[in-house]
């Protein structure tokens, strides 16, 4: 690894030390369905968002709920204390397109219809309200 790459990699690592995040890769649902759930909780306080996800009928909400619990746990691990109600909020939540499995379904007259089984990647970053107020 060259010196310039190493320096930028170390700088990137330093900036991520203060951030608590969780990443879900290759979730087997379309990104469009997952974005609908992500939009429901974007910017919310984390325990309120957990309540919204718990009672949502969407299948993708179960995965996002589990991921949010992981992000909260990561924050608690980095700060060495328990998260209190009203302290954390979802700073960013993004859904990116993952790999697509391409399959063929038999169709009439010897043809084949394409089936695309999509997947997605979800990233959640949680932060405290106090940090946001200090920066402003």
Alpha-carbon torsion angle 52, 83, 75, 79, nearest 10: 170
Residue 131 has pLDDT above 90, yes or no: no
Residue of higher predicted confidence among 32 and 12:
32
Where would I find the H helices in the chain? Answer: 3-17, 31-41, 46-54, 60-79, 129-135
Residue 100 has pLDDT above 80, yes or no: yes
Residue 37 has pLDDT above 90, yes or no: yes
User: Looking at residue 133, what is its pLDDT?
Assistant: 66
Residue 129 has pLDDT above 90, yes or no: no
* Closest listed residue to residue 103, CA positions, set 117, 92, 89: 117
Q: Is beta strand 112-117 parallel, antiparallel or unpaired with respect to 20-27?
A: unpaired
- What's the pLDDT tens digit per position in 3-31? 999 999 999 888 877 789 999 999 999 99
Q: Sorting pLDDT into bands at 50, 70 and 90, what band is 84?
A: confident
Q: What are the extents of the domains in the chain? A: 20-135
Mean pLDDT of 117-135: 85
Residue 134 has pLDDT above 70, yes or no: no
Name the fold adopted by 20-135: Ribosomal Protein L22; Chain A (3.90.470)
């Amino acid at each position: 690894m060259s010196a310039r790459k190493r320096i930028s990699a170390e700088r990137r690592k330093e900036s991520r030390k203060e951030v608590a995040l969780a990443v879900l890769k290759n979730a087997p649902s379309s990104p469009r369905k997952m974005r609908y759930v992500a939009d429901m909780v974007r910017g919310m306080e984390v325990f309120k968002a957990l309540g919204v996800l718990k009672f949502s009928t969407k299948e993708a909400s179960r995965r996002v709920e589990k991921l949010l619990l992981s992000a909260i746990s990561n924050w608690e691990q980095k700060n060495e204390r328990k998260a209190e109600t009203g302290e954390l909020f979802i700073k960013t939540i993004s859904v990116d397109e993952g790999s697509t499995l391409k399959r063929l379904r038999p169709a009439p007259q010897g043809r084949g219809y394409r089936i695309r089984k999509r997947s997605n990647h979800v990233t959640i970053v949680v932060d405290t309200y106090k940090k946001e107020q200090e920066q402003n």
